[in-house]
A and B are shown apart, each in its own frame.
Chain A
């Protein structure tokens, strides 16, 4: 995938979508199923991208009573904003 003429990894588009659907703080964090439903992407693919973004510190995961919830980190928010600023 490319953005303004340069290659852009798929997971950054995914990060942008995760930010735009509002998962930007712990009280707005979302489960895998919720993310999958809101951005219309298979859970397997969502998981793959989340894992990569967690590695890069753009996404954080919390365990809430055995259920994993995901949110974009401050570093991730900055990354998304840099695309359109």
Chain B
């Protein structure tokens, strides 16, 4: 099967989970002898075309610009559309697959002018990310998301909670939405690391424990609840450093919050770090905290589980589907400082319990969340839409 996958985010252009998802899925599809063409955006240092383990990656050069972000997205969609048309002349795609609203215009246009079925993966929604529609931009994005779900023959949702959200917010028929979870590459965690050297790199003493957060610094990720819970954790565990890996528009706000509460020396804001650094840091941590207020899936929790770190996560969306409380991790109440601190303290206080969670979690990741399984189920969706 020839698949045209459209995404605004693809390595090395990585911000959220979409880039990693598209890479993992497209590599698994290529491994199963399907021809995958990923059309994505240019990025400094990345070639206009490359073959990654059988995946053909085409990066579009955006020749025009406009200060308004939404206008800019329509402009890059137009340039993607032109490239898709050229590629289709040579390869004759069977299916178009888009990821989130940012590539909805090119996906919808390609569906109609190429007369090909459109599949859309919804990773999250604007109403969820922004916790409501509070601005004209949010209304516009919400409208584009509705249009994308209307035009797609099938919608892939990463979790049951995301499916529920789509059914209720966009009034979609249940049978149009297929739940296929995310997956991760577990092989990168199958190695030994020097934990002390990793700690030294970030100015952390060998005896200090690391409470880690990984993700974009935006309100939906709930980092502020972790920062606010710091005193409750320190009351029981003085030798702890809180490491926050990621960047986002809330970074200054969170740094100010930590500073004004007098915990600046206890928190490290690392900004974006490379994938290999992230792997080592995760494997060197004592707890991974996922305090999200909205999380359709929560791939970072899977990464923690695969890396052998106990995960403490807010019981929202996909997180409550991935983690089985008290067996593969600890679920806490969202937006609740006492509950969050309780979860972290529980794991830090009992190494035996922590180790038990880690063993169960590793097993579950290997059994359920493999790219091979996700690719197999995605192909079933493609075959289904191509029959029509």
Q: Given A5-B219, A6-B219: A83 and B249 within 8 A (CB)?
A: yes
A65 adjacent to chain B (CB < 8 Å): no
Question: A68 at the A/B interface (Cβ < 8 Å)?
Answer: no
Nearest CB of chain A from residue B132's CB, rounded to whole Å: 9
Contacting pair B247 A22 (CB below 8 A): no
- Bound complex: CA A81 to CA B16 (Å): 9
Asked whether A49 is an interface residue with its Cβ less than 8 Å from the other chain, the reply is no
Q: Is A47 an interface residue (CB 8 A)?
A: no
The size bracket of the interface on A is 20 to 34
State A74–B66 Cα separation when bound (angstroms): 19
Task: Please determine whether B44 and A78 come into contact, CB atoms closer than 8 angstroms.
Answer: no
Does the CB pair A24–B249 fall under 8 Å?
Answer: no
Give the contact-size bracket for chain B.
35 or more
Residue B69 CB within 8 A of the other chain: yes
Q: How far is A78 from B72 in the complex, measured between Cα atoms in Å?
A: 16
> Does A16 sit within 8 A of B, measured CB to CB?
yes
Please determine whether B43 and A77 come into contact, CB atoms closer than 8 angstroms. Answer: yes
Instruction: Say yes or no for A9: interface residue by CB 8 A criterion.
Output: yes
The residue in chain A whose Cβ has the minimal distance to the Cβ of B272 is: A78
Most B C-beta atoms less than 10 A away, residue of A5, A8, A79, A82: A82
Q: Chain A 38-74, CB within 8 Å of chain B: the 1/0 string? A: 1110000000000000000000000000000000001
**Contact A78-B247, Cβ < 8 Å, known A20-B66, A20-B67, A84-B102:** yes
Known contacts A9-B252, A78-B272; is-contact A4 B219 (Cβ 8 Å): yes
Interface residue A17 (Cβ < 8 Å from any Cβ of B):
yes
**Complex interface: chain A residues within 8 A of B86 (CB):** none
The interface centre, meaning the residue of A6, A9, A77, A81 with most chain B CB atoms within 10 A of its CB, is A81
Across the interface, A39 reaches (CB within 8 A) one of B18, B67, B217, namely: B67
**B67, A21: Cβ atoms closer than 8 Å:** yes
A-B CB pair tally, cutoff 8 Å? 84
Q: Which residues on A sit within 8 Å (CB–CB) of B18?
A: 85
Closest B residue by C-beta to A24: B44
A81 touches B9 (CB 8 A): yes
**A79/B67 in contact, CB under 8 A:** no
Please measure, in the bound complex, the distance between the C-alpha atom of A77 and the C-alpha atom of B72, giving whole angstroms. 14
User: Smallest CB–CB gap between A50 and chain B, Å?
Assistant: 15
- CB of A20, distance to nearest CB on chain B (Å): 4
Kindly state the separation between the CA atoms of A81 and B41 in the bound complex, as whole angstroms.
12
For residue B216, CB closer than 8 A to chain A, the reply is yes
Known A-B contacts A20-B72, A85-B216; A3 and B249 likewise in contact (beta carbons under 8 Å): yes
Structural contact, B69 and A20, CB atoms closer than 8 A: yes
Q: When chains A and B are docked, how far (Å) is the Cα of A78 from the Cα of B9? A: 10
Query: Chain B residues near A6 (CB, 8 Å)?
Result: 219, 249-250, 253
The reply to whether the CB of B65 lies closer than 8 angstroms to some CB of chain A is: yes
B201 at the interface (CB under 8 A from A): no
Cβ contacts under 8 Å, B248 to chain A:
79, 82-83
Q: Which of A7, A17, A21, A84 contacts B253 (CB 8 A)?
A: A7
**B236-295, CB < 8 A from A:** 247-250, 252-253, 271-272
Interchain CB contact (< 8 A) of A22 among B62, B68, B130, B249: B62
10 residue pairs from A and B, CB less than 8 Å apart = A20-B69, A25-B44, A39-B67, A74-B43, A75-B247, A79-B247, A82-B216, A84-B102, A85-B9, A85-B18
Write the residues of chain A forming the contact surface with B, with a CB cutoff of 8 angstroms: 3-9, 12, 16-17, 20-25, 38-40, 74-75, 77-79, 81-85
Give me the 10 closest cross-chain CB pairs, A-B, nearest first: A22-B65, A21-B65, A17-B67, A20-B72, A82-B248, A81-B15, A85-B16, A82-B216, A85-B15, A39-B67
